A and B are shown apart, each in its own frame.
Chain A
């Protein structure tokens, strides 16, 4: 911090710089190496002794994934990608709408059983996905939701709603209640006051809640791996797992698929980073 700068010895400053450099290297290198691998021919990866600097950068791995290459690729990655996108987007939009209503109720109303209900929502989140997958598998197979996008969307709703409620409750509580009260005195209904005053103010918070919900669904594996069976509903993480099991030495192909999973995560991290910390801490501390 700046106030300690004056008494900081030069060696200390260099130690901090070195430490930061090392930490960032450890955080970035693994992902960067996978990205790099995605743009190399497989021969280069398998070469002995190791080739460190890419000699022949190529887009061939991605072409193979999407079936644009003469070389046959065994996995319908494009279909998995579409499934992932549809499932994650749908569950996100619905989870944010439902969670927003719930968060608003907790932030603005006093009602019987409020504390218990809030706790119950949060406790529902402690159930590990793997454990929940067992009974869901039993039920979904009996009512025909197994291996459907809707089956997975419904599950991700349940996973995302508690967290969305928690986040939006915090965001709504930060908006002074007087604002909507003033609008109501001026003749707005509570419904109008919400959409014209509180919703726009909470929009950034809702956006970050949405991004979290999206990433949770996009990244989820444990439930998806048991509740999907075919290309009808398999998602990218399940596809990546299949890939590693079937084509064990096609490291560049796997890396290319991994990159397709990373991209949304990276983009969204940049967008959400401003709201993340606020969202996570004020719910807990204040």
Chain B
């Protein structure tokens, strides 16, 4: 009781509501998830929640080719989109940074995609790339570039590309905005000194601008890897994993297994794999961020 009334208790009391919420809505469910991933839980048979099977679900996953395809696809998807977004975002930031007139407006416009619901972005691209009424096919028709509609979301190679495009559209701004903030915070002296010393623009970018931007790139990467799973919403509305499973990601496979096929135990095992994947990406970039920050220490 003495502790509760002491000064030392204040921060803990302030944090208590947050701790309670996180414990009950995140940690407890994660424990339930861990337990159910080791049972033969089937939604249609509630009693199976207590049928312990050890690591059988995980063993089955390891030998399940659908799972490995979805896992590989997710990994490739995340890697491609993060890199493309980084490069395009950097380009966008450098471009906007050179504009002197109306920069605020441009920054606001740049922020729109970040504020859109992923389900909205998915719908938007589903509509734009619809083979019959979509803007893209209509434009290609009227420009005389095609005579037959291109089945963007039905074709096995085009569908994943269209989804990557939608994801890149949605998230490039995250990099654009943060890197622009980095560029604006950058001191001018080193660049001018380098120019006086005869560096060409590429050398200035490579040896001065880019190292300065690295922490900002890693912040953006960390923020992005926190919400990569948003892609689930988009895939769900655009193709729902099709055609023939070519856009099936770990997240869509998981919900299909859990809810549509009622194999909750197995789905929770996949859930754990996806959580680990998210944590690995986030921690990787966070450590890079800390390292970059330490490296920049003197300059900040």
On chain A, the number of residues with a Cβ less than 8 Å from chain B's Cβ atoms is 92
Name the contact of A135 in the complex, choosing from B36, B120, B177, B223 (C-beta under 8 A): B36
On chain B, the number of residues with a Cβ less than 8 Å from chain A's Cβ atoms is 98
Q: Are B116 and A219 in contact (CB under 8 A)?
A: yes
Q: Are A270 and B181 in contact (CB under 8 A)?
A: no
Tell me the minimal C-beta distance from B136 to chain A in angstroms: 10
* Identity of the chain B residue whose Cβ is nearest the Cβ of A23 in the assembled complex: B92
* Identity of the chain B residue whose Cβ is nearest the Cβ of A129 in the assembled complex: B229
Q: How many angstroms between the C-alpha atoms of A99 and B16 in the bound complex?
A: 10
The answer to whether residues A258 and B124 also contact, given A131-B274, A251-B133, A273-B107 and a CB cut-off of 8 A, is yes
Name the contact of A154 in the complex, choosing from B19, B25, B259 (C-beta under 8 A): B25
Q: Are A49 and B29 in contact (CB under 8 A)?
A: no
Q: Are B92 and A98 in contact (CB under 8 A)?
A: no
Residues in A neighbouring B279, C-beta threshold 8 A: 123, 126
| Interface flags, A1-17, vs B, CB<8A=1, else 0 | 11111000000000010
Q: Are B112 and A130 in contact (CB under 8 A)?
A: no
Task: Give the dominant DSSP class at B's interface.
Answer: helix
Tell me the minimal C-beta distance from B267 to chain A in angstroms: 5
**Cβ of B97 under 8 Å from chain A:** yes
| Interface flags, A187-230, vs B, CB<8A=1, else 0 | 00000000000000000000000000001001111100110000
* Identity of the chain A residue whose Cβ is nearest the Cβ of B95 in the assembled complex: A19
| Interface flags, B213-249, vs A, CB<8A=1, else 0 | 0011001001101101110110011000000000000
Q: Which residues of B contact A (CB under 8 A)?
A: 8, 10-12, 14-15, 17-19, 21-22, 25-30, 32-33, 36, 41, 49, 92, 95-100, 106-113, 115-120, 123-128, 130, 132-133, 135, 138, 141-142, 169, 173, 177-178, 180-182, 185, 188, 192, 215-216, 219, 222-223, 225-226, 228-230, 232-233, 236-237, 251, 254-255, 258-259, 264, 267-268, 271-272, 274-275, 278-279, 282, 289, 293, 300
Q: Are B112 and A27 in contact (CB under 8 A)?
A: yes
Tell me the minimal C-beta distance from A199 to chain B in angstroms: 14
* Identity of the chain A residue whose Cβ is nearest the Cβ of B92 in the assembled complex: A23
* Identity of the chain B residue whose Cβ is nearest the Cβ of A26 in the assembled complex: B169
Q: Are A37 and B300 in contact (CB under 8 A)?
A: no
Residues in B neighbouring A3, C-beta threshold 8 A: 188, 192
Known: A109-B11, A254-B123, A280-B181. 10 other contacts (CB 8 A): A2-B100, A3-B188, A45-B133, A127-B275, A128-B228, A128-B232, A136-B29, A139-B32, A273-B108, A285-B293
Q: How many angstroms between the C-alpha atoms of A65 and B165 in the bound complex?
A: 30
Residues in B neighbouring A258, C-beta threshold 8 A: 120, 123-124
Q: Are B32 and A135 in contact (CB under 8 A)?
A: yes
Q: Are B21 and A218 in contact (CB under 8 A)?
A: no
| Interface flags, A141-167, vs B, CB<8A=1, else 0 | 000000000000011011001100100
The answer to whether residues A126 and B17 also contact, given A109-B11, A219-B117 and a CB cut-off of 8 A, is no
20 contacts between A and B (CB under 8 A): A30-B169, A33-B127, A49-B142, A128-B232, A129-B232, A131-B229, A133-B255, A134-B258, A135-B33, A155-B25, A222-B232, A225-B236, A240-B237, A265-B112, A269-B108, A280-B177, A281-B219, A285-B215, A285-B216, A285-B293
Q: How many angstroms between the C-alpha atoms of A270 and B21 in the bound complex?
A: 31
The answer to whether residues A215 and B115 also contact, given A2-B100, A240-B123 and a CB cut-off of 8 A, is yes
**Cβ of A63 under 8 Å from chain B:** no
Q: Are B254 and A20 in contact (CB under 8 A)?
A: no
Tell me the minimal C-beta distance from A44 to chain B in angstroms: 10
**Cβ of A46 under 8 Å from chain B:** yes
**Cβ of A102 under 8 Å from chain B:** yes
**Cβ of A124 under 8 Å from chain B:** yes
Tell me the minimal C-beta distance from B219 to chain A in angstroms: 4
Q: How many angstroms between the C-alpha atoms of A117 and B23 in the bound complex?
A: 12
Name the contact of B117 in the complex, choosing from A34, A237, A268, A270 (C-beta under 8 A): A237
Q: How many angstroms between the C-alpha atoms of A231 and B274 in the bound complex?
A: 30
Tell me the minimal C-beta distance from A69 to chain B in angstroms: 22
Residues in A neighbouring B255, C-beta threshold 8 A: 130, 133, 226
Residues in B neighbouring A24, C-beta threshold 8 A: 106, 109
In the A-B complex, list the 3 residue pairs whose CB atoms are closest, starting with the nearest.
Answer: A128-B229, A219-B117, A158-B25
Residues in B neighbouring A114, C-beta threshold 8 A: 11
Residues in A neighbouring B293, C-beta threshold 8 A: 285
Residues in A neighbouring B275, C-beta threshold 8 A: 126-128, 131
Q: How many angstroms between the C-alpha atoms of A137 and B236 in the bound complex?
A: 18
Q: Are A105 and B10 in contact (CB under 8 A)?
A: yes
The answer to whether residues A226 and B259 also contact, given A1-B100, A154-B21 and a CB cut-off of 8 A, is yes
Q: Are A165 and B18 in contact (CB under 8 A)?
A: yes
Q: Are B118 and A111 in contact (CB under 8 A)?
A: no
Residues in A neighbouring B113, C-beta threshold 8 A: 27
Q: Are A23 and B14 in contact (CB under 8 A)?
A: no
**Cβ of A74 under 8 Å from chain B:** no
Residues in B neighbouring A45, C-beta threshold 8 A: 133
Name the contact of A5 in the complex, choosing from B100, B126, B173 (C-beta under 8 A): B100
The answer to whether residues A280 and B18 also contact, given A50-B138, A126-B282, A219-B117 and a CB cut-off of 8 A, is no
Q: How many angstroms between the C-alpha atoms of A121 and B26 in the bound complex?
A: 10
